[in-house]
Chains A and B, each alone.
Chain A
Amino acid sequence: MKLTGATFDQLTSQPRNYSLFVIMTTFDPNHRCVMCKEFDKDVKLVAQAFGRQKDEPRVFLGQLDFADGRQVFSKLNILTVPYVLHYPPTEGPRARVGGADFDKIDLNRKELDADAFVHYIDSVSGVKLTIRRPINWTAVGIYVALLLSAIVFVRLVASSLLVVIQNRKLWTVLTLGLSILFCSGHMWNNIRSPAYNGGRNGQIEIFQPGFQSQYVIESQIVGLLYAATAVVVVGLITKVPTIQDPLKQRTAVYIGVALFLTLWSYTMRVFRYKNGGYPYKLFF
């Protein structure tokens, strides 16, 4: 239901025997509200779900564009869009006695999608809606095609695939890569999704001060440091002793040790960025 300032006032006036959800939004190209457009798709889904309801409607969904209801926005002091207002009924079994006339639902701070919205509608008005997302045929097609081609591919290269699967080097790289990834805070990045890097006073900040947080680039740097140090150690263990020429070997040992110490000192340096009170250091 599309609302204007006048109909908005009319519908929200008391008494009401229905719940009203109003989506405050704007499609004015001047405001360039990307979120509004994104959310609008989900709102349409919810509206369709309303359309499938069979029983007597007790809940209504309205949408108010900023262009149509400027005065409402200023009256309610709404500065950000999209925003959802809920007007509970004032009569009937679910009537609200006392309290504010309406609730603001800040979906931005939760999740801005149809599921969260429907969940909220259910929790305040008891109307259960089922969202049916339109089946994305292109996506399904792509998946089927991918699956088929994967099967064909496996079929064609079955023998060489077996060689690949049994390749020890592949597994080594995979395992080590994954463990280093996990140990350098990749899962933290995944869950908290921090910024790639930070900036302060116009300068790029690579290491976030603070022990409990990090930028993505930090964990990449640290992961690389660990990996490089490990490679040097492995080199010292497996490759250097096989060098036949004593002079070459000596050079290799010195380079390896120097690399090891440099990398490790730098890792400790990096840690001191994070934890100012850390007392130990090697060369720098």
Chain B
Amino acid sequence: MLGLNSSSETVWLRVTILSLVAILAFASRLFSVLRFESVIHEFDPWFNYRTTVELVENGFYDFVNWFDELSWYPLGRVVGGTVYPGIMVTAGLIHKFLTTLNFPIHIREVCVFLAPLFSGFTAIAAYLLTAEMKDPAAGLLAAAFIGIAPGYISRSVAGSYDNEGIAIFLLVFTFYLWIKALKLGSAFYGALTALFYFWMVSAWGGYVFIINLIPLHAFALILMGRFSTRLYVAYSTFYVIGTLSSMQIPFVGFQPTKTNDHMAALGIFGLLQIIAFVEMIRTHLSSNQFRSLLTGLVIGFFIIGFGGLVGLTYGGYIAPWTGRFYSLWDTGYAKKYIPIIASVSEHQPTAWPSFFFDLQLLMPLFPAGVYLCFKELRDEHVFVILYAITASYFAGVMVRLMLTLTPIVCVAAALAVSRLLDIYLANAGPAPVTAAPATEKDVKSIKEDKKKEKKKEGRFGIWSFDSKLSVVLPIGLVLTVFAWHCTWVTSNAYSSPSIVLASRGRDGSQVIIDDFREAYYWLRQNTPEKAKIMAWWDYGYQITGMSNRTVLVDNNTWNNTHIATVGKAMACSEDVAYEVMRKLDVDYVLVIFGGAIGYSGDDINKFLWMIRIGEGVYPNDISERNFFTDRGEYRIDDQATKTMRDSLLYKMSYYRFNDLFGGKTGYDSVRGSHVSTKPIKLHTIEEAYSTENYIVRLYQVKKPDNIGRSLSAASTFGKKRKRRSRKPASGKAKKGRG
């Protein structure tokens, strides 16, 4: 099955090493579970988890027809038709399988450990793919690389239950099957490719990469004059089955026939048919006639196809490149037209330290490996080259797509290292040039050759033992450093669940900061079941997942206007915000505030995006300019602009913040500045709860005044005299911190 043909010892050795690599890949992703506990991480995974629970509890059909009332109030969300269900179904099936075997495991554990499990599979898939490129030895190296490369670990640690967790395995395995199908010209492997492509489509939007890269590969092969019946069989099977099956996913639907993202695949499919037809005619015509016919047909088809595509796009029959994908080409596009996409940190372009951080040693080895592919340039090497160049472009444009680059970097680097080790680890001295490169199989025969003709000209190999050693040892050294680097990065950068934070106390002991769950649990226990919570969209999934309450916006950012409305409420003065909140039936408002403890990912730091997104829709109500001082600074202290100090978010963040400092002016440790000395008064909302470290602050929206006054008028009524004696609004729930 693994394509091995050597002696049984070698096979066993390989299987053992590969299993160890897979176990290693699994184990190195468990830092967060060991350090904290087995929890779901971050934001999106919470939604996936919630839907998976729904799937497991109510079955597949309920899941597909599920209308989620908790999100996007008052719009709701048709979940079945708007998600990639792959990961939920996968987790559900594993859960079902285990329970059938009488392993009573909770679905949460399945979800937490799904990504590491599939990372183990990815290592095996990388082994298979690389073994097709060179030999099993290179495959083992590639498996080891991808098992520990931080670029992949970043999205697949235990608890990060997200589409990418299984998608990378599917990506690599689909490519392996494609190469296999192409090599053998086998319809069976072509169909398998399509099957895994279907799984991939059901799991991740990144499937578009596959459906464009494989046609690109086919096209390049045609241009290089390498058309063959193998290509024809493999591609046709893949395209037909793959496209038909991908249309079964409700979220994808008829897109494969309607959007430009998928048109390249269709075009290549047509082109292949024509070329196959022409090849058939060739047997009946003289070569001269044939040549002109071929060029004529190919060029004619290309022009007609392209013209037709442009025409249909203009006619509105085929959707042009969709926003997210288009922004990869026209990099200024997102910032101008879809700020919501530009605001996500993982959609930013990648600076070089990130590349180094995620791939380290593999980075310089990667071009070397690609060069070696050019040297050999079999059909599958063309694939590596195309993959390398497209993926490195995408990774450069968007941090998140580092993930698609990592597999090919591992494969290419493994090719380079394995070639190097082949040469410098060979027992024998230089072999005649005519002999094949010294794979393990050939070593013995070369050895014999060598004894017979020792000093013949034109040999390939290394003469002296010490030069071999002087290469192998440093390579071993840098590889070891690479392994250290990977562990360090994984442990320090990628293993934080982000809903539970850790910091060090003064004595160096670990302090767990669990404010998020504290607040979400408070919401779950203390608010009416139908309460509507307003928060910035980042926290939507977590609130629905952990508090089981309705939110206005969440991380599925499909409705820009709605998000902008929330942004408007946050950025405007209390009275304006109150109107918005009343219209949307908001009962509670949630803000994240890190100033008390130094948590930098809080709402004040995200505020500019709220303003920008809000301004995009409500330019008359919000102006980004007004939040900056005359000198263009973003300040929170006494010199902050009036708009800033009046904004709802500012008030909610710093409400009674000064009281923490015993009457002195509060010091915001994130912004590194004092806050405004004027006490903040709230009249449309009141504080409901603040967590231990003040990270989450909850406010309840007041009901309208009984006799129809505006709430600001009502709150000042009769208070003119005793303004000095400030009444704690409802600070009972607050925990004192001295």
Contact = CB atoms under 8 A, between A and B. Distances in A.
Nearest to B433: A242
Interface in A233-284: 233-234, 236-238, 240-242, 244, 246, 249-250, 253-254, 256-257, 260-261, 263-264, 267, 271, 274-275, 279-280, 282
Interface stretch (A22-30, A49-57, A186-194): A186-194
A2 interface: no
Contact of B364 (A123, A218, A267): A267
Give 3 nearest A-B pairs by CB, closest first: A187-B396, A229-B364, A185-B352
Contacts of A124: 619-620
Interface string A200-220: 000000000001111000110
B529 to A, nearest CB: 40
Contacts of A238: 375
A219 B457 CA distance: 44
B463 A246 contact: yes
B364 A225 contact: yes
Contacts of A171: 374
B368 A230 contact: yes
A271 B332 CA distance: 28
22 contacts: A103-B623, A109-B624, A176-B370, A183-B352, A185-B355, A187-B350, A187-B397, A191-B331, A191-B397, A212-B353, A219-B351, A225-B364, A230-B364, A230-B366, A233-B368, A236-B423, A237-B372, A246-B463, A256-B471, A271-B357, A280-B485, A280-B488
Contact of A234 (B372, B430, B488): B372
- Of A172, A183, A227, which is in contact with the most chain B CB atoms at under 10 Å from its CB? A183
Interface in B612-636: 619-620, 623-625
A184 B355 contact: yes
A230 B396 contact: no
B419 interface: yes
Nearest to B623: A103
A271 B360 CA distance: 10
Contacts of A222: 352, 356
A104 B625 contact: yes
A237 B352 contact: no
Contacts of A188: 349-352, 396
Contacts, number: 170
A253 B350 contact: no
Contact of B467 (A103, A104, A249, A260): A249
A183 B424 CA distance: 29
B470 A182 contact: no
A9 interface: no
B129 interface: no
B462 A274 contact: no
A226 interface: yes
Interface of A: 103-104, 106, 109, 123-124, 168, 171-172, 175-176, 178-180, 182-188, 190-192, 211-214, 218-219, 222, 225-227, 229-230, 233-234, 236-238, 240-242, 244, 246, 249-250, 253-254, 256-257, 260-261, 263-264, 267, 271, 274-275, 279-280, 282
Nearest to A171: B374
Contact of A172 (B371, B397, B416, B485): B371
Contact of A182 (B354, B396, B624): B396
Given A242-B460, A253-B467, A230 B371 contact: yes
Q: What secondary structure prevails in chain B residues at the interface with A?
A: helix
Nearest to B386: A175
A212 B351 contact: yes
B416 A214 contact: no
B338 to A, nearest CB: 15
B365 interface: yes
B470 A183 contact: no
A253 B462 contact: yes
B4 interface: no
Nearest to B374: A172
Interface string B320-358: 000000000001100000000000000001111111110
Contacts of A264: 361, 364, 478
A275 B366 contact: no
Interface residues of B, number: 63
B484 interface: yes
A191 B488 contact: no
B370 A179 contact: yes
Interface string B466-481: 1100110010011001
A226 B462 contact: no
B488 A241 contact: no
Contact of B377 (A103, A106, A168, A234): A168
B430 to A, nearest CB: 7
Interface string B379-400: 0000001001100110111000
- Of A179, A230, A254, A267, which is in contact with the most chain B CB atoms at under 10 Å from its CB? A179
B436 to A, nearest CB: 14
B461 interface: yes
A192 to B, nearest CB: 7
A246 B430 CA distance: 10
Contact of B396 (A186, A226, A271): A186
A127 to B, nearest CB: 15
B420 interface: yes
B467 A254 contact: yes
A186 B395 CA distance: 11
Contacts of A275: 353, 357
B488 A176 contact: no
Contact of B420 (A185, A213, A237, A261): A237
A261 to B, nearest CB: 6
B445 interface: no
Contact of B370 (A168, A175, A182, A242): A175
A235 B372 CA distance: 11
Contacts of A179: 366-367, 370, 388-389, 392
A225 to B, nearest CB: 7
Interface in B411-431: 416, 419-420, 423-424, 430
